[in-house]
A and B are shown apart, each in its own frame.
Chain A
């Protein structure tokens, strides 16, 4: 089987359809040459990221530092100090760039549902896929608790400025602080946009946490909150507009 270089690159970047991904996976399994090429491309990606991320360790120039201070002064960060928001394009895996404590919490919630009876046998399913599945299928206000004590609850749904469905959700595992998060639906998946640890009182976040997250939602939302009826229809349509 011949797999073009373009297709192999798109495979590495996760840009192919599920069917095409599967075809390339089969080719990699059967053809050592394609497997070697895919491995080299993936290794190159890591090298590029490592090489160009080197600038993160270099102190900002005086000029850029001044610009950063100007941005900090101009931004309303008081309420959102505890919130980690994600640029719209970033994958959930970007947790590595977050403050350690929150990153650890998010890393822990990525294990949500794993080893639970709900998804027994779904070993190949990525951790984010489990959350994504819950976001796709649960209506707001439905608390889902697994046998291992993890819990998930979609709290509300809204449309953002870009017209994407976004959902605020609560998630808690045994070994990590509970998180209030926001994920938005892109063409085919949910992408994490914001996450913050939450101080719980009887399973619900405190008012101050509410306010911080409200600020984030206020900045994102366009129009009203999606009603339960509209939510059910969106679930039926698999969140297609």
Chain B
């Protein structure tokens, strides 16, 4: 792919190899944004295809760039849909009796609750938390992906975890009293 300012054609093999390596992490990140495996795979696929199609600017680190592309695509294409779906899927609005669901272990239910709770966070907090916790990025690197100051990442992480705990406690109380 020979485009001005874009990685040259002879680097395509390297790009493919790097993207292949990034794929599992990118998929997890997409999952944290979307909340469902189907949507995550669609988003991840779109992100990789976008990068292959448009190339990567020479002055960026691919790993950071890929996560940024993924996030921007999600903001453009998926957030509106997802927001509508959330109103329907909100567990607090659903008639779920967790204690009756004998097919799932307590651990599975807990993990499901965490996933649902993640979807209750706003995108900014969820992205920051996902990049740092799941991708093991430093605050500095996450700040570069999210294009915000490090202090903002620090603050978002703190609020995200506080909100998650609050949400999980509420959900636990709701389930017990249901």
Contact = CB atoms under 8 A, between A and B. Distances in A.
Nearest to B155: A6
Interface stretch (A25-33, A89-97, A222-230): A89-97
Given A44-B164, A67-B49, A68-B23, A49 B134 contact: yes
A74 B134 contact: no
Given A51-B112, A64-B27, 4 more contacts: A48-B133, A71-B23, A77-B20, A162-B61
A61 B42 contact: yes
B156 to A, nearest CB: 10
B45 A67 contact: yes
Contact of B139 (A13, A94, A97): A13
Contacts of B162: 5
B69 interface: no
Which 7 pairs of residues, A with B, have the shortest CB-CB distance? A74-B16, A75-B17, A61-B41, A51-B114, A75-B16, A71-B20, A55-B31
Given A5-B158, A47-B114, A58 B37 contact: yes
Interface string A168-185: 000000000000000000
Contacts of A97: 24
B56 interface: no
Interface in A36-52: 40-41, 44-45, 47-52
A53 interface: yes
Contacts of B164: 44, 48
Contacts of A15: 138-139, 154
B73 interface: no
A202 interface: no
Contacts of A85: 21
Interface size class of A (residues with CB under 8 A): 35 or more
B178 interface: no
A142 interface: no
Given A6-B155, A9-B154, A41-B161, A88 B63 contact: yes
Contact of A80 (B17, B110, B115): B17
Given A47-B110, A48-B133, A87 B22 contact: yes
B129 interface: yes
A10 B139 contact: yes
Contacts of B13: 74-76
Contacts, number: 136
Given A72-B20, A74-B12, A55 B135 contact: no
B40 interface: yes
B137 A48 contact: no
A83 to B, nearest CB: 10
B146 interface: no
B45 to A, nearest CB: 5
A73 B16 CA distance: 8
A219 interface: yes
A121 interface: no
Interface string B116-141: 00100000000001101111111101
A55 B17 contact: no
Contacts of A67: 44-45, 48-49
